[in-house]
Amino acid sequence: YDVDIWTYIARFLDGKSLVKLALTSKWFHDVIMHDCVWKFACLRDLQVPDPRHVSFNWTKIYATAFDGSHSYLFRQPDKHLDWMRIGAFLFDSQEALLTDKLDLPVRIIKEKTIEKMLKACGSCLLKNIKTGIWIADLQLVRCPACNLDTCEGTMQMLEARHIELFLSEGFLNRSWEYELIGSHKIEKDVRAASAGIFDVDHFKDCQSAGVFDLKRWAGKPNEMLPKAIIAFHAVAINTNLQKNEGILVKYHTMKAGPEGDIVSIRISQQLL
């Protein structure tokens, strides 16, 4: 067999087909399990550009990206109700804009603390973001206000993580944990629960700007199912709400150790 030909053919196979082909013989196993094959498959299926540097081999990265794993499988599975994979985006810079307001113009009022920044404008800036590919999920989890199994209260969460998080020892041994960095209440009727994460360097890009075109993707006012949008350098969610008394928005981050980069972000929204 010609190795180059089969390496080329492998570009047209999905992950399951690649694994099946690798199991047919030792020769095919050696060809298919080459890292370049899985790198191509991963970037193709996630629809992101090459991040240039990764710390793990692409076979493992592909597996954690497409095996159905999400953070609540590792932590608090009893709180988890449902989830939806949104997609992947890229952080080129180490600065992120987080917001629960998807209407223009987005105001950033720089305060001394994130808490004050959120209360002032519903948005905040984060530094020391780990660059590279990030995966975004929409999580539906049980309301944290009580621990009753019969409680029907739920909250939605936009969660984004660096693609290597589930392979990192600090995450697996639970030495890295989520930390609340800020919260604020909107104590009035809210038409929709929205949240967005943007790479600051690409905030004005055409694709990122398209996130604010809610009429294009967020659904009609009477559509109550969650909607999501992914861009090269941004992700956002929106859920239209019935009449309510407001929402509580919380922002959590996970760092790769006390002085490490931020490797995961959560924006949760709960009805008051």
Domain residue ranges in the chain = 3-64, 71-271
pLDDT at 16: 92
Which of residues 2 and 214 earns the better pLDDT score? 214
pLDDT at 145: 55
Q: Residue 22: which residues within 8 A CB-CB, separation 6 or more? A: 28, 29, 32, 33
Q: Work out the burial of residue 174: count CB atoms within 10 Å of its CB; fewer than 13 is exposed, 13-18 middle, 19 or more buried.
A: exposed
Q: Work out the burial of residue 103: count CB atoms within 10 Å of its CB; fewer than 13 is exposed, 13-18 middle, 19 or more buried.
A: exposed
Alpha-helix residue ranges (DSSP H) falling in 204-254? 206-209, 214-217
> 3-64: which CATH architecture?
Up-down Bundle (1.20)
Determine the distance from the C-alpha atom of residue 270 to the mean position of all C-alpha atoms in its chain, rounded to a whole number: 18
At 244, is the secondary structure helix, strand, or coil? Answer: coil
The DSSP secondary-structure symbol of 137 reads E
Task: Identify the residue whose tokens are 């804009």.
Answer: 97
Q: Is the pLDDT of residue 116 over 80?
A: no
Which one, of 231, 108, 226, 95, lies nearest residue 157 by Cα? 226
Q: Decide if 59 contacts 33 (C-beta within 8 A).
A: yes
- What's the whole-model pTM score? 0.90
Distance CA 218, CA 136 (A): 17
- What is the average per-residue pLDDT within 34-52? 93
pLDDT in tens, 155-171: 899 999 999 999 999 99
Which one, of 199, 62, 74, lies nearest residue 132 by Cα? 199
Distance CA 221, CA 240 (A): 6
Which one, of 225, 226, 244, 111, lies nearest residue 185 by Cα? 244
Alpha-helix residue ranges (DSSP H) falling in the chain? 3-10, 15-22, 26-32, 35-46, 58-66, 114-121, 169-172, 206-209, 214-217
**% of the chain at pLDDT higher than 70:** 91
